[in-house]
Chain A
């Protein structure tokens, strides 16, 4: 498959691993920002091929994982309304709220549908003028243009039964929050390639300079990650702290202007709460006031829902990279992909789920033995 096979070549991977070993003279700690990168690293076992002392911390870049619990509870409250068709990306459906999740709500009769694009949700709204159609607009800068476009189209076409529950977050403020933390160990970042495909990398230049951290815009295939790691280690070894672009087949310095314009026609920057991290100033998008009528929080009066996390869950520290799932007493015991306590166990991109899927720290006795009962999809 073009653009995939050439980036999974085992021989070239081994050559890159050898080169990483050759240039590394001391221990380094790097963070890959995006959950998609975490997934590749863990699935391919890349971190285990690195030199002793070179450590990857898995970053907060899984949009499902950082969506705060109260937003999930708001989604559940809205979806329980019998007049609502609640639409979402697939992996939000299993994220546990305080009492239940969207899949369980669906089983009890709520009309919850998976969509692959927010524009599908707009289409559903057009086809069901008598129902309220709500889209769960989560994600980083990557999904923001499409989500903005959905609101824009609904406004243009006068589709008033459409609204969005917004939980949009931004990468650069989260990176700064990590760097400012007293317990920070991150010396270099692999920035999220697809976020940069939209936004470019100019926002990262001041961060690299101010905190003296190398930042390498990196793709998602095994060879992308190995090359990104090599570029970051070279900078660290040479004492440089620049923004470099490994993912040149997809990312330009200025990003995608058209996508950025679409985002800022609909959204504006505002404070956001991150699950496991807390509130970060100016770290997300919210709807501009002129699109307030598309805000599901206002339409369904769920703005004041507040909640708290399971006491055993250390999702916050995992999302900040200060601890790993193997440090968690609940991991693999109380908390598994079948019964997740926290969001990093839910999405395939979450650190805990990625560890669990790769069997890290799990003896055969605690491995899941039976598949959860679910409707057989393909027979």
Chain B
């Protein structure tokens, strides 16, 4: 009995060394202290290397630009799941920002990248998303020049939210805007619609189709540049993201005070998207796209713009889908497959699958 101590010896006690978490983001990684620096040094900076400016971390980036006009945009990405067929949130964030600039005719120059991370996100996922940001930025020819990282408690975010801002340079003479469509203009679309929304919905809802439907996320700066080269007097460029083609065209019709007439047979909807929409009771015209562009140009330039779009892989499925008219201002109509006319309305609220 005497050789086993019955009470603890205070002199023999040691403070347990803190365990270092090597796999997941902790609240402490957002503290601004050593863990934050380590997250930046070990995970984010290496993954971002090929697209970042390098150099010491300063409070703001300083960018040299020539005199002229800048386009400036911001966007936030909350897609769930983070990875989906055809892309992930990192690629989507860069392409979405680049496309918003491109739709104003701007050559994208630099973007910012801010993360809101839910604690517990594996480093590996953060690294993959960040590498994907770098890849997409390199492909679009933009640099990530500034950024931020915050960590929030479990449940306060859904794994990872990404916020971006972007700036680009608008060439002299370019005058694009949602309010510039004129009666007589042609309406062009750069390719098939509905892919992104259906791809995300299919993974989120666990729906399986015989053919995998991949998101169309891609940068549109080259398509936009080609359109402007063929028609420097183009009136409107717009990427029909959430709300789909229907909402984008309704916004243009409303802002320009014109009507838009579409031809249903000319609008490319991929077979799998149509099948999924039929099954779920969704309208492909309301489903989000992330790599398509609507161009509204003077009718006499339509063929030249079409050729310019089709010369690029991003625009190889381009077609002329309708025209701008003076009738029914603020309204989009469609010539249906069976030969009647109907109005194409904006999406109301969330898309809800129908019962039967």
Contact = CB atoms under 8 A, between A and B. Distances in A.
Interface of A: 1, 4, 8-10, 13-14, 17, 36, 42-46, 48-49, 63-64, 89-94, 103, 114, 116, 138-140, 142-143, 194, 222, 226, 336-338, 347-349, 356-360, 362, 364, 367-369, 371-372, 374-379
Interface centre among A13, A63, A367, A377 (most CB of B within 10 A): A377
A64 B339 CA distance: 30
Contact of A364 (B79, B280, B331, B336): B331
B328 interface: yes
B355 A138 contact: yes
Given A347-B355, A364-B331, A379-B79, A48 B281 contact: no
Closest 9 A/B residue pairs (Cβ)? A45-B340, A359-B343, A90-B353, A90-B352, A13-B338, A364-B330, A378-B288, A372-B349, A89-B355
A54 to B, nearest CB: 15
Contacts of B336: 43-45
Given A42-B342, A116-B205, A359-B342, A377 B356 contact: no
Given A356-B345, A371-B348, A378-B201, 17 more contacts: A1-B275, A8-B338, A9-B337, A10-B337, A10-B338, A36-B356, A44-B336, A90-B352, A116-B280, A142-B356, A337-B349, A359-B331, A372-B348, A376-B78, A377-B200, A377-B351, A379-B75
A47 to B, nearest CB: 9
A64 B349 CA distance: 17
A337 B345 CA distance: 11
21 contacts: A1-B274, A8-B338, A10-B265, A13-B339, A43-B342, A44-B342, A63-B356, A89-B353, A90-B355, A114-B352, A140-B356, A338-B348, A358-B343, A360-B343, A362-B343, A375-B78, A377-B288, A377-B351, A378-B79, A378-B288, A379-B241
Interface residues of B, number: 52
B contact face: mostly helix, strand, loop, or mixed: loop
Contact of B345 (A91, A92, A140, A357): A357
A349 B354 contact: yes
B254 interface: yes
B242 A379 contact: yes
Given A1-B275, A45-B336, A337 B348 contact: yes
Contacts of B254: 369
B23 interface: no
A364 B327 CA distance: 11
Contacts of B328: 364
A93 B355 CA distance: 11
Contact of A91 (B196, B241, B348, B355): B355
B54 interface: no
A94 B342 CA distance: 25
B287 to A, nearest CB: 8
A43 B265 CA distance: 14
A358 B339 contact: no
A367 B331 contact: yes
A142 B355 CA distance: 10
B123 interface: no
Interface centre among B288, B331, B343 (most CB of A within 10 A): B343
B80 to A, nearest CB: 9
B230 interface: no
A338 B349 CA distance: 7
A94 B352 contact: yes
B77 A379 contact: yes
A105 to B, nearest CB: 14
A336 to B, nearest CB: 8
Contacts of A358: 342-343, 345
Contacts of A17: 339
B353 A46 contact: no
A140 B355 CA distance: 10
A4 B76 CA distance: 38
B346 interface: yes
A336 B96 CA distance: 32
B348 A368 contact: yes
B243 A63 contact: no
